[in-house]
A and B are shown apart, each in its own frame.
Chain A
């Protein structure tokens, strides 16, 4: 066998919770392992054991393996090592998977998706504590935030994270790459209890079809019954025009999102604070989504330090009919939730309507009325949602009926 050599990962003073791995095979000198770790005093033995276990698992007896570890968590070390083993072609199609951290609940079609926190797939240090900031969802991103040469390794890090990292109840989303690379992502991601897959740069129902077929194939092969929901991201003029066709192309689609950076470039303009350039596109997304009965999700707000600007943009998105917003920093999550929370007046109006509705139900009346005014069913439905939201956000307590507004 000719010697082959590959490396992946990050090293250097400023790297945190990550590692760099190099493998050289065909040296004819047996196993040689070199470990340099920032935590060697406290985890040196367990790291060496992990490496031995992995080389045993892949049945590799002849290689030089070098690990430069900057306090990476075990699932990261595993992914980086597996990645170089794949690169030298010694994986034999096997996967070295960490244990699931615990029970993972089933995906839910109807759930709040106000905030979704983007986590670059190649930055595992950001994964560990993402859940403590209580986003409705986390997105492990394999697309724009990962450079082309890091994609293979990131794919395994994300796969391992889906098993190892407790996101504390946040919906587990992955943004895959554009097709066809995205299909490779699906092979690793779909079996790992992912709740939802974000599909970037969608402009035709055909793309949805390709993804759906691939997912079905992976599920059938692995005998997986679990739902995998989809959220197409529309990022072009053509996509906007076809928004309804896309939204209605699969029953697994639970939300439709817009990405404005690419969209504004596509129509030959720039994003402004006022957002006139994207008003049509955003309204199209909302209308297409609502026509199908799914959620409409707005783009991200990129000025991390400006929480007032973010709040204003959330309030505006809510008023347009959006149900959620992307977050690129944990500190944005609370502001986004605040923006989507019902205001005091809104809650009080909803309270009166819900009380009237409950009274009408009790009395067996088919029509809900307040004074002389009849209340339409959709208004009742929205009032019920508002009360539920206010309860969720602790804006009212369980005794809300008794409160004197």
Chain B
């Protein structure tokens, strides 16, 4: 088959593949343009007669659980990433898959981390055909160099839920690591030595997979409460010595960036939000734990305190800073998608106003609404932005695939989306003519805040009007780009890329918004 035949120019102006790993996909059609039809995927019907009345579903090993789940060549196995860079379970699962002599598996993690570097040997030996999920660090390098057999697919957190729900990805076996679980399979993330807060990323897996395996190092007698993962969806429970390294799952404390430039950018973003009239009683915002967005949250907290302003809810990414805002009464609720430090875990366990969420409630685009679009202000990162405000989060300017999408695309639906970005990283300008990979359309991105000026999307005439007369350094993206290039020694050269497509980037509705090509060595 001639690969060239399968490319199609999508509504973002990108030539994308629509047949990926022999499956058909839709090209991106524009924001809100792709309206799905039909019914959601349905999980198999089961019978209690096939499960022990005692409710004890324990089996002795991951290998045994995989065998009993009917693992075959070419199946799809999913994992979640709440244990982040401390996760032991995905590596254990694929070692077991390899021992069983299985080949060509699709690994469908909600994200992968550098700790998953050992998976590379399973990609090389053919145990895993390809990964659909973010590929960070060594796995990103491996894929960027064209070494993966199949084409990777990257989805947002909401897009992953959508893909499972719509039947675009059928999970044969879901493996869910759980810091606390009972023999029936009820599980949560708030207790145990590997406590990670919540298990929301694994919700769809437990609802739609043919078989679901819970792996835990902390078995509790029935009932394990709260049951964010319900035992009624679980086939097997496996006890292991340890599911992860607590030090790398959540940090003891979250530290604020020391970079004076980043702090300045965060202050400018907060000042912008204040002057735009966004920060007022009853408002809501998305809080991140990355350098600049954490600083944004902290400075926003200071402004709220000074002006006696209270938020209705904060969506996080919870950290000690967020929980102290909740405890101080600066917000009524935290709606939490993942906890980043021990205080976040404690607060979620003990404070009923610190609510766990899932990609279903917060992000799924093929549902009857979600929380992301209700957010008054969202601050997000990006590796590049073009002059039309289109942004890239998955690749670097040199073409390397380095980051997952996370909730980034989903949060673009917030009412005002601010990207606080350094104008250049080391010597590499952030504002470019054309982003290497388009991950989010510019029509959803409202403001770019840099250390040398703030650019408002011309479509946001309301914000431009509100900020007229402000002392903030308002400038155009063209001006900022020119300044960065002058400092960095001219516009960067174009990276040389190979023809081979190594990954596809999905939009929140399952359409293909862009592709990533192999880099030259």
Contact = CB atoms under 8 A, between A and B. Distances in A.
B86 to A, nearest CB: 23
Given A41-B399, A42-B493, A73-B487, A329 B427 contact: no
Given A132-B451, A133-B260, A71 B427 contact: yes
Contacts of B260: 129, 133, 329-331
A70 B489 CA distance: 15
Residue among A39, A74, A133, A166 with most chain B CB within 10 A = A39
Nearest to B496: A41
Interface in B413-458: 426-428, 451-452
A133 B259 CA distance: 12
B398 interface: yes
Contact of B426 (A39, A41, A331): A39
Interface string A46-78: 100000000000000000000000111110000
B22 interface: no
Contacts of B496: 41
Contact of A44 (B261, B263, B428, B493): B493
A44 B399 CA distance: 15
Interface in A22-50: 38-39, 41-46
Contacts of B488: 43, 73
Nearest to A164: B487
Interface in B463-521: 471, 486-490, 492-493, 495-496, 519
A42 B495 CA distance: 6
Contacts of B362: none
Given A42-B492, A46-B493, A101-B486, A132 B452 contact: yes
Contact of B427 (A39, A101, A129): A39
Contacts of B495: 41-42
Given A16-B426, A129-B451, A132-B451, A41 B398 contact: yes
A45 B491 CA distance: 12
Interface string A317-331: 000000000000111
Interface string B260-287: 1101100000000000000000000000
Nearest to B488: A73
A11 to B, nearest CB: 15
B489 A71 contact: no
Residue among B261, B427, B486, B490 with most chain A CB within 10 A = B427
A394 interface: yes
B493 A133 contact: no
Interface size class of B (residues with CB under 8 A): 20 to 34
Contact of B493 (A16, A45, A132): A45
Nearest to A50: B489
B397 interface: yes
Contacts of B399: 41
B398 A42 contact: yes
A307 interface: no
A395 interface: no
B402 to A, nearest CB: 13
A43 B263 contact: no
Nearest to A18: B426
Contacts of B451: 129, 132
Given A132-B261, A330-B261, 18 more contacts: A17-B427, A39-B398, A39-B428, A39-B492, A42-B427, A42-B428, A42-B492, A42-B495, A44-B493, A45-B493, A46-B490, A71-B427, A73-B427, A74-B489, A129-B261, A132-B264, A133-B264, A166-B487
Interface of B: 260-261, 263-264, 397-399, 426-428, 451-452, 471, 486-490, 492-493, 495-496, 519
14 contacts: A16-B426, A41-B519, A42-B397, A42-B495, A43-B427, A43-B488, A46-B490, A71-B427, A72-B427, A73-B489, A129-B261, A132-B451, A132-B452, A330-B264
